[in-house]
Amino acid sequence: GQQLNQSPQSMFIQEGEDVSMNCTSSSIFNTWLWYKQDPGEGPVLLIALYKAGELTSNGRLTAQFGITRKDSFLNISASIPSDVGIYFCAGPSDMRFGAGTRLTVKP
Amino acid sequence: DGGITQSPKYLFRKEGQNVTLSCEQNLNHDAMYWYRQDPGQGLRLIYYSQIVNDFQKGDIAEGYSVSREKKESFPLTVTSAQKNPTAFYLCASTLQGAISGYTFGSGTRLTVV
């Protein structure tokens, strides 16, 4: 099956800092999905990307669909404590998710 | 409001017992999925079903069984054959093709005592 690699595995940042994470696939994707999981809860969809080169924002979150269609990026600006959680990427057709980026925000 | 419901939230099981985790959705989604999550780990696919009365093994199906008798329901049975069943279990559903994304339940935490 497809390999999905997310990096970094974890991040420890200060409140107010910007965050960048990315996901790469061994195959071309037609759609990229980004999710956030709060502790003890199910993941929630943050952003969906449908076109190579697409840049989509949702509040302080911005995600991009890479031109090669094998990668995607998620940025969080001006982080706040409630951004803590695990961020997952996924390509819908494969039913698999990346291993996640664990974000810790220090007040 | 439409959604996907998992129950119970917490479940304790004695070694050697089978236990069934419930997953119900009222989103009229075609496909349903079960994932397992271990502490500090990602999501691993156990089983999935794209239509009623049909389901397929995922990456870690051994020791688990499922059924899909109704579109709304996809229960997961953790059998005594599963060697290390303590984990967080997540159910998800999607429309066919999944391009609008997966909707997840809030999970069931299973602990073997």
Q: Which residues in chain B have their CB less than 8 angstroms from residue A45's CB?
A: 101-103
Chain B interface includes A50 (CB < 8 A): yes
Residue B61 makes CB contacts below 8 A (sequence gap 6+) with B46, B47
pLDDT value at position A67? 95
Contacting residues of A for B96, CB less than 8 Å apart = none
- Residue A17 pLDDT greater than 70, yes or no: yes
Q: Is the dihedral of CA A65, A69, A73, A74 positive or negative?
A: positive
Residues of B within 8 A of A44 (CB-CB) are 104
Q: Is A94 helix (H, G, I), strand (E, B) or coil?
A: helix
A87: closest CA of chain B, how far (Å): 10
- Asked if A21 has any chain B CB less than 8 Å from its own CB, the reply is no
Write down the pLDDT at residue A92.
79
pLDDT in tens, B48-60: 999 999 999 999 9
Q: Which of B41, B88, B99 has its CB closest to that of A92?
A: B99
Q: Which residue has the higher pLDDT, B87 or B97?
A: B87
- Averaged over B64-73, what is the pLDDT? 98
Sheet holding A10-14, edge to edge: A10-14, A101-106, A85-90, A32-37, A44-49
CA distance B24 to chain A (A): 14
Q: Which of A95, A97, A101 to mutate to test the interface with B (most CBs of B within 10 A)?
A: A95
Q: What is the pLDDT of residue B91?
A: 98
Instruction: Give the tens place of pLDDT for each residue, B20-33.
Output: 999 999 999 999 99
Residues of B with CB under 8 A from a CB of A: 6, 33, 35, 40-43, 45, 48, 58-59, 88, 90, 92, 94, 97-107, 109
pLDDT of the residue at A1 = 57
- pLDDT at residue B71 tops 60: yes
- Tell me which of B35, B36, B93, B99 to substitute to probe the interface with A (most A C-beta atoms closer than 10 Å): B99
Contacts of B49 in chain A (CB under 8 A): none
Residue A96 is nearest to which of B40, B45, B103, comparing CB atoms? B45
Q: Does the pLDDT of residue B96 top 90, yes or no? A: no
How far apart, in whole angstroms, are the C-alpha atoms of residue B74 and residue B47?
Answer: 10
Per-residue pLDDT tens digits for A46-97: 999 999 999 999 999 999 999 999 999 999 999 999 999 999 999 877 788 9
